[in-house]
Every structure is written in structure tokens, then in C-alpha cells.
Chain A
Amino acid sequence: DAGVIQSPRHEVTEMGQEVTLRCKPISGHNSLFWYRQTMMRGLELLIYFNNNVPIDDSGMPEDRFSAKMPNASFSTLKIQPSEPRDSAVYFCASSGLAGGRYNEQFFGPGTRLTVL
């Protein structure tokens, strides 16, 4: 089975440009997570979707960040406009929730974003 797929794997852009990160969760999973990893702050949850609906976006740093999940097999994280401090590795993870019981989150390989 394919795991969580993220694209692009690397993105280099200039300050002020729009950046769109993409994620395809594991088929059948109904929960999707976006994380950001930096040296200073470690791994932080940005937003959590359940059944394509955003449940908790309290980790989204500011209005420049937005995330969508138009269907069960696709999600995007958009930064507009991007700033150098957004440089980080962004991970997408998915899990299959069964009866409210915790299920493992499966992580994608990440997108390394560099904003110049």
C-alpha cells in the first residue's frame, strides 16, 4: 500500500510568493493532520481534519496559512504570502478512526520549504 504522499518534496520560493503544499492520505483514513517541524519549535500540529471537516485549526500560526480538504483523498496547505520564517519541514499525517479509539498516525515524507 502507498503511504501518505506529499508533494513537492522540496520547495524553494521567494518572500511574498504563494506556496501550496499537497497531501494524499492513506486510502480509507478519515483523519488528516498537518504538522510543521522547525529546529526551534520542534514538531507542531497546525490543523486537524476529520471526515474532511476542519476540527481544530488552533495551531495555524496566522491568517497567511490556510488548509483545505475538498475530498477524502486530497488536502492542501497554502501560505500566502510566504515569509522567510515559514521555512520548515511540513508533514502531513493520516489515521483511521474506529469508534473513537486512538489509531496510529501515519506520516508522509514531508515537504522541505525554504523561503528566501
Chain B
Amino acid sequence: AQSVTQPDIHITVSEGASLELRCNYSYGATPYLFWYVQSPGQGLQLLLKYFSGDTLVQGIKGFEAEFKRSQSSFNLRKPSVHWSDAAEYFCAVGPPGSNYKLTFGKGTLLTVNP
């Protein structure tokens, strides 16, 4: 069965600092990989996705993520965090070619200090 682990429940960074959120997955093959962001009281918004090809993917809001097959990881990064980035971030995996059956991690809550 596929699973997603986000080791950090809560991360606090200062505005302007760099950010890396970790995501590890367990899956029999290379899955489709996603990062979503959830602002308070809102639904989830897709930040970026990886299907195949270039292992460094760019997303919205200045985020990027790198797929590392050897480490079964798909970590999310941002060079300089803005106060508006404070939210909860979810990593998700899905079967290649499938439109559904996403498995989500438990999320990482990001707090940004001024």
C-alpha cells in the first residue's frame, strides 16, 4: 500500500529565510507526486506536481520540489519565505496515470515569524 510521511508536524521560520519541507513516500513504482497548500479555513490548492522527466519541478508562488528516486523523497523548497506562506502543506502520491486515489501525508504546519 502506498503511504506518505511528512516528518515535520510544525516548522517555524523567519520571513526571508529559506524553507525545506520534507516528504518521503512508499510506493511500488514511481508514483505521481504532488504538493498542496491549505490556508486556514480554505480548501487545498495545488502548488506543483511531478509526473516524469526533469526531477526539479517549479510551482506557483515561487516554490519548487525535487524528486529523488534513491531516497523516495519529494521535498518542497522556497529560497525566501514570505509571511503569506504561513499555511499547512500536504504532500500526496498517486498511481501513475490515475486521476484519483491520492494518498496524502498528515501535513506540515508552517509558521512565519516577522
Contact = CB atoms under 8 A, between A and B. Distances in A.
Nearest to A33: B100
B71 interface: no
A56 interface: yes
B21 to A, nearest CB: 15
A108 to B, nearest CB: 5
Interface string A1-23: 00110000000000000000000
Interface of B is mostly: loop
**Max chain A CB contacts within 10 Å: which of B94, B99, B102?**
B99
Which range contains the number of A residues in contact with the other chain?
20 to 34
Interface in A89-103: 91, 93, 95, 97, 100-103
B43 A45 contact: no
A108 B43 contact: yes
Nearest to A3: B43
A42 B105 contact: yes
Contacts of B90: 43
Nearest to A9: B41
Contacts of B11: none
Interface string B76-111: 000000000000001000100111111011110000
